[in-house]
Structure 1
Amino acid sequence: MNLNTLQGFRQEVYGCFDRAADALFNSVDALLTETQAHSFPELSLSPSFERRWCSLYEAFEDGQIDQRRLRQVFVRYLLRSADEERVWLGIDATSIERPQSKTSPDRTVVYKPNLPESSKPISYGWQFSTVVLLPVQPSSWTAVLDQQRIRSEQTSVEVAAAQLRQLAPLLECRPIVASDRCYSCAPFLLATEGLPFDKLLRLKRKRVLYRRAPAPTGKRGAPRKDGAR
Structure 2
Amino acid sequence: MARPPLIIFGFLPQSSKTKAVAAVLSVVHARAGGPGDTPARRGDLAWFRQEFYRSLTARADALFELTDAVLCADGPVRSLVDLTLVAEHRRGHGAMYDALSHGRVEPQRIRRALASLPLPRATDGRIVLAVDVSPWLRSDAPTSAERLFCHVYGRGRGQAQLIPGWPYSFVAALEPGRTSWTALLDAVRLGPTDDATAVTADQLRAVLTRLITAGHWREGDPDILIVTDAGYDVTRLAFVLADLPVELLGRIRSDRVLRLPKPPRCPGTTGRPPKHGPEFALDRPATWPSPQHATTTTTTRYGTATATSWDRLHPRLTHRGCWVDHPGELPVIEGTLVRLQVEHLPGNRDPKPVWLWSSATDATADDVDRWWRSFLRRFDLEHTFRLFKQTLGWTAPKIRSPHAADRWTWLIIAAHTQLRLARPHATDLRRPWEKPAPPGRLTPARVRRGFRHLRPRTCLPAGAPKPTHPGPGRPPGSRNRRPAPRYDVGKTSTHDRATTARQQNRG
If the TM-score is normalised by the length of the shorter chain, which range does it land in? 0.7 to 0.9
Per-residue deviation, 1:126: 1.2
Contact map agreement 1:111 1:123 (CA 8 A) in 2: yes
Q: Does residue 2 of structure 2 align to residue 2 of structure 1?
A: no
Q: 1:206 is matched with which residue?
A: 255
Q: Tell whether the 8 Å contact from 2:55 to 2:107 is kept in structure 1 after alignment.
A: yes
Partner letter of residue 114 of structure 2?
Answer: F
Tell me which moved more, 127-136 or 184-193.
Answer: 184-193
Q: CA deviation at 1:142?
A: 2.6
Please tell me whether residue 191 in structure 1 is matched to residue 240 in structure 2: yes
In structure 2, the residue matched to 1:226 is 276
Classify the secondary structure of the residue corresponding to 1:209.
Answer: strand
Give the match for residue 66 of structure 1.
Answer: 106
Q: Return the alpha-carbon distance in structure 1 between the equivalents of residues 224 and 94 of structure 2.
A: 43
Query: Aligned AA for 1:226?
Result: H
Match of 1:139 among 160, 179, 203: 179
Query: 2:238·2:248 contact (CA, 8 Å) conserved in 1?
Result: no
Corresponding residue for residue 129 of structure 2: 89
Amino acid at match of 1:23: A
SS of the aligned residue for 1:96 comes to strand
Distance in 2 separating the partners of 1:72 and 1:191: 23
Alignment of 1:145-156 (within 5 A): 145-156=185-196
Match of 2:54 in 1: 15
Which residue of the partner structure matches residue 179 of structure 1? 228
Residues 212 and 8 (structure 1 numbering): CA distance in 2 closer, same or farther, change over 3 Å? same
Q: Percent identity?
A: 28
Residue type at the aligned position of 1:108 = L
Residues 61-116 of structure 1: per-residue CA shift (max 9 Å, x gap): 2221221111010011142x658511111111111211111111111111110245
Aligned residues of 2:234 and 2:250 also touching (Cα < 8 A): no
Whichever residue aligns with residue 210 of structure 1, its letter is R
Residues 1:32 and 1:152: Cα distance change in structure 2 (over 3 Å): farther
The answer (yes or no) to whether the contact 1:115–1:121 under 8 Å persists in 2 is: no
Match of 1:181, SS? coil
Q: Which letter maps to 2:203? A: Q
CA distance in 1 between counterparts of 2:261 and 2:246 reads: 24
Larger radius of gyration: 2
* 1:127 shift after superposition: 0.5
Corresponding residue SS for 2:189? strand
Q: Give the Å deviation of 1:119.
A: 5.3
Q: Give the aligned CA root-mean-square deviation in angstroms.
A: 2.4
Query: What TM-score, normalized by structure 2, do the two folds share?
Result: 0.41
Larger RCO (CA within 8 A; separation ≥ 6): 2
The amino acid that maps onto 1:2 is A
Match of 1:57 among 97, 118, 126: 97
Aligned length: 226
Quickly say closer, same or farther: Cα 1:197–1:120, change in 2 above 3 A: closer
SS in 2 for 1:162: helix
Q: TM-score, normalised by structure 1?
A: 0.87
- Which whole-Å CA distance do the structure 2 matches of 1:190 and 1:32 have between them? 41
SS state of the match for residue 117, structure 2?
Answer: helix
Question: Aligned with 1:183: secondary structure?
Answer: coil
- Separation of aligned partners in 1, 2:230 and 2:140: 31
Gap regions ≥5 residues in structure 2: 1-38, 218-222, 280-507
The gaps in structure 1 that reach 5 residues or longer are: none
Residue of structure 1 in register with 2:69 after alignment: 30
Cα gap change, 1:87 to 1:21, in 2 (>3 Å): same
**Residues 14-54 of structure 1: CA deviation (Å, up to 9, x unaligned):** 11112211111112222333463333311211222122111
